[in-house]
Amino acid sequence: MKAIAVRRGEGTPAIVEKPRPDPAAGEALVRTLRVGVDGTDHEVISGSHGGYPEGEDHIVLGHEAVGVVVDPNGTGLSEGDVVVPTVRRRPNGSNDYFARGEPDMAPDGFYHERGIDGAHGFMAEYFTSSAEHLVRCPPEIAELGFLVEPASITEKAIEHARASRSAFEWSPESAFVLGNGSLGLLTVAMLQESFDRLYCLGRRDRPDPTIDIIEELGATYVDSRHTPVDEVPEAYEPMDFVYEATGYAKHAFETIKALAPNGVGALLGVPNDWTFELDGGALHRELVLHNKALVGSVNSNVRHFERAVESVAALPEWFTDDLVTGVYGLDEFERAFDDDDTTIKTAVEFGSR
């Protein structure tokens, strides 16, 4: 079967031939439909994030997949089920995080991430997965199933942000999404129902397709070149919830000032090392005196995937049409890895349902 992988030292994805996998006990065999591409894939390709499976000279890419069960292999799944795989797997034997169904909370060394770190991903014509890591998806949204994994990232971040505010009556009205990449735009769409006023940060000139989407969703576009994140309260309003998806490290700290009293910021970006100056005293004081919180959030578990399936099913059709700028077959898979200003979200298509 064909798979898309990156070989050690090569820095570009390529098609490789691999044997079709046989499901082990407890695993199902899945025929892949589509696999999405995101910023993490680009980081894996460039070698700045993740790592190869032990003893292998390549890693099969892809962690945002949807497929159809072709061999349930005695698991509770049925042939024809449309499924979305979660990303984290046990490295060796079980550990408490996986036993509790919370692999997303496991520290380094207690997990592999398929397609990212230590385990092959799903960009192949077939993949196997233990059934406990496969989440059923309604067939009607099979073509959009590759959006479930990124949506699950947001479900987890919202859950953790809300949990940090659960000790008191918190009625947020304003939300500010930092970043107009695919994760940021998906999050604006997911937050639309829960917040009265939505804002989204970018750094682009009009005309731009992401600004069009932001405004079509009823959100206000904020340009960080004109309004730095920490000046947003004066220019617009203080924010009850900030969702950072730029990976721009200063935003993590500027978020503290952007928040309203009792607000919470969820940090999702994964920046490189960067040393810069900031007034730590002022930020520390701001967090304390106004009961603010910052929550870091990575990965997601089955519960978040289940909620994400519902969120993806509820996305307006015009939005997914505009968000997904390209779905490419294996004959032109390289185009799915383009990363210019007209590309928002892409996927590689391995087959149809």
Interacting residues toward ligand NAP by CB under 6 A? 38-40, 153, 179-184, 201-204, 224, 245-248, 268-270, 297-299
182 is in an annotated binding site: yes
Which C-beta is closer to ligand NAP: that of 194 or that of 342?
342
To the question of whether residue 204 is assigned a binding role by annotation, the answer is yes
- Residue, CB closest to ligand NAP: 181
Nearer to ligand NAP by Cβ, of 268 and 324: the residue is: 268
- Taking the least distance from each CB to ligand NAP, the nearer of 126 and 243 is 243
Q: What token pair was written down for 276?
A: 């810069």
How far lies 205's CA from each of 209, 238, 344, in Å? 10, 24, 16
Please indicate if the annotation marks 198 as binding a ligand.
no
Residue 179 in tokens: 């970043």
Tell me whether residue 203 is annotated as binding. Answer: yes
**Phi, psi angle pair for 77, to nearest 5°:** -80, 165
Shortest Cβ distance from residue 149 to ligand NAP (Å)? 9
Residue placing its CB nearer to ligand NAP in the complex, 68 or 157: 157
Is residue 70 within 8 Å of residue 126, measured between CB atoms? Answer: yes
CB of 72 or CB of 184, closer to ligand NAP = 184
Residue 197 labelled as part of a binding site: no
Supply the DSSP string of 3-71, one letter for each residue. EEEEETTT-SEEEEE-PPPPP-TTEEEEEEEEEEE-HHHHHHHHTSS-BPPTT-SEEE--SEEEEEEEE
Instruction: Report the nearest approach of ligand NAP to the CB of residue 136 (Å).
Output: 22
Report in angstroms how near the CB of residue 160 gets to ligand NAP at its nearest.
Answer: 11
Instruction: Return the sign of the alpha-carbon dihedral for residues 65, 151, 116, 133.
Output: negative
Do the annotations mark residue 269 as ligand-binding?
yes
Residue 84 assigned to a binding site: no
Closer to ligand NAP by Cβ: residue 86 or 180: 180
Least separation in angstroms between residue 221's CB and ligand NAP is 10
**Residue appearing with tokens 């932001």:** 214
CA distance 70 to 287: 52
How many Cα atoms sit within 13 Å of 199 on the Cβ side? 24
Q: How far apart are the first and last CA of the chain?
A: 18
**Least distance between ligand NAP and beta carbon 137 (Å):** 19
Nearer CB in complex with ligand NAP: 23/265? 265
What is the nearest approach in angstroms of ligand NAP to the Cβ of residue 281?
24
Q: What is the closest distance, in whole angstroms, from the C-beta atom of residue 139 to ligand NAP in the complex? A: 26
Helix 280-289 and helix 249-258, axial crossing angle in degrees, nearest 10: 40
298 is in an annotated binding site: yes
DSSP 70-133: EE-TTSS--TT-EEEE-SEE-SSS--HHHHTT-GGGPPTTS-EEETTBEE--S-BSEEEEEGGG
Q: Residues comprising the binding site for NADP(+)?
A: 180-183, 203-204, 268-270, 297-299
Q: Residues comprising the binding site?
A: 40, 113, 149, 180-183, 203-204, 268-270, 297-299
Q: Residues comprising the binding site for substrate?
A: 40, 113, 149, 299
